[in-house]
Chain A
């Protein structure tokens, strides 16, 4: 698969132009997307920008901005001024963004060209992209299967070859799990590394944005463009917010064996063990680690996240923007707009969140979940004293079939290895570690590397040495 770095080299050398690259994106979309449904909208004005970028390369060569002319696909919960931002929800079906998200501004300044908006689970709630109000996305590697979610459209856009890179958001695994299902690199930065200004808020103490790419080097490059302090997001970090995390050539990897002993697909575990063996053969040290509180992460997540969802989604009231139903009085307008505008999963999480935050339940659920988070952070700090990177499969299974997980809890279990990362705010990288066979189809399996807070560069260094150099 094509990488951003290869594309850049060709652009600079004049062997290939941004115009040709965008034309190729459009032709792949035209050929494949009626079946895949990765894109909610294709931006025809990309071609104009590509022509301008082509001219710039002639004049500026290698001095041109790092991402000049590179086609990108953007998850549709990220605001691009003048473009529809739907969050794949009926309630925002006709909403046009009034301003650029900070990450969009930074990508534009680096010369990136947006070819379209990608499909997702409604408001980023789901693990399969089946919760989109505009129909599910299919996995380009096997169209009977889901691409994962919630950034399923972004993952499918890269996997089908329409773009070399896409942007997603990750609240509990929404970049990493689709990357795993589609055979890509996916990165969830340290909480606070990337501004969320202009992103539709889901779980504000958990949300981060990141890239889905074909190489770790590309993920690093794109993250570098998007990351950094932003006055418009008070949670963004200073460069010295966390102590420096050293990058090493030979590392100690911690494997939480107990955590992997239950609920992981047998073939996935085999591929994982093979990966661990390869690391050991390459001279890295492998140790067992114990993360008993980490294992409670999923339960805590499905308290904290819906609580934040119920508050964040209160803004969709049918009054100021978005879908508005006719009603007899104000309350009627609220209740009908929200009832008709939101899909089932969003309603489920709003109800759950309202419940865990209500008087009499708050201490038993929300308070306990926050305690779990605190204990998880302490547990991690302890483990990272002796271990450089914690290793897990990204998801417990390969891509599953459309319609296979109708029980919400079964779907939630997909996130078992990814949510502890968001709850604690540490960074994590996923890349393909192998594949399994299912019904004569080869399905990729991702591995998740977790580093301490601020250890984003350690993950990139490890990923480049282990995945890119394979």
Chain B
């Protein structure tokens, strides 16, 4: 993996990495990827591509509110880093140029 690849992944991952971290991850991720690449030697047989029954199934429950009104509101608001009254405050995302 090249330096640009790591920079690209960091952007996708929303991680701002230092120069030092970039060079570390460049070498570490390369060796990890070459190790996990072992899985490519496994070939898919016809049996594998056949759908399996019973392993994965959907689980549903009634779409109803199970907590009391405001049961958790104050505690959740208390965990918010930035608030205005009872609202979560975030940076402006529209017209950020003006």
Contact = CB atoms under 8 A, between A and B. Distances in A.
Contacts of A347: 13, 15, 17, 21, 25
A279 interface: no
Interface residues of B, number: 48
Given A98-B72, A327-B91, A364-B40, A321 B79 contact: yes
Interface in B1-51: 1, 5-6, 9-10, 12-17, 21, 24-25, 28-29, 31-33, 35-42, 44, 47-48
Given A296-B39, A371-B42, A350 B79 contact: no
Contacts of B96: 329
Given A296-B42, A319-B90, A320-B79, A302 B35 contact: yes
Contacts of B15: 335, 338-339, 342, 347, 350-351
A320 B10 contact: no
Interface stretch (A27-35, A41-49, A165-173, A352-360): A352-360
A375 B42 CA distance: 9
Contacts of A371: 39, 42, 44, 48
A299 B36 contact: yes
Interface string B48-61: 10001001000101
A318 B36 contact: no
Interface string A322-364: 1110011111111110110010100110111011101000001
A351 B13 contact: yes
Contacts of B79: 95-96, 98, 320-322
B75 interface: yes
Contacts of B37: 299, 365
Size category of the A interface is: 35 or more
A173 B94 CA distance: 46
A374 B45 CA distance: 11
A371 B49 CA distance: 9
A231 B61 contact: yes
Contact of B80 (A234, A321, A412): A321
A300 interface: yes
A354 B5 CA distance: 11
B19 to A, nearest CB: 13
A126 B59 CA distance: 32
A388 interface: no
Nearest to B88: A320
Given A335-B14, A335-B15, A319 B81 contact: yes
A352 B1 CA distance: 11
Contacts of B65: none
A372 interface: yes
Contacts of B13: 310, 338, 347, 350-351, 354
A323 to B, nearest CB: 8
Nearest to B14: A334
A319 B32 CA distance: 32
A322 B81 contact: yes
B82 A339 contact: no
Contacts of A374: 48, 52
Contact of A352 (B21, B29, B39, B42): B29
Contacts of B93: 329-330
B77 to A, nearest CB: 10
Given A329-B96, A336-B16, A355 B38 contact: no
A16 interface: no
Contacts of A344: 21, 24
Contacts of B16: 335-336, 338-339
Contacts of A314: 14
A317 B14 contact: yes
B75 A355 contact: no
A369 B9 contact: no
B9 A354 contact: yes
A342 B14 CA distance: 12
B88 A319 contact: yes
B25 A330 contact: no
Contacts of A356: 36
Contacts of B32: 302, 348, 352, 408-409, 412
Nearest to A300: B39
Contacts of B92: 329-330
Contacts of B75: 96, 98
A358 B29 contact: no
B12 A354 contact: yes
A338 B59 CA distance: 33
Q: Which 3 A-B residue pairings sit nearest by Cβ, starting from the closest? A: A324-B81, A321-B79, A234-B59
7 contacts: A299-B38, A303-B36, A322-B81, A324-B82, A329-B91, A338-B16, A372-B39
Given A320-B80, A347-B25, A364-B40, 13 more contacts: A321-B80, A321-B81, A324-B81, A329-B93, A335-B15, A339-B17, A351-B13, A352-B32, A352-B33, A355-B5, A356-B36, A358-B12, A365-B36
Interface of B: 1, 5-6, 9-10, 12-17, 21, 24-25, 28-29, 31-33, 35-42, 44, 47-48, 52, 55, 59, 61, 72, 75-76, 78-82, 88, 90-93, 96
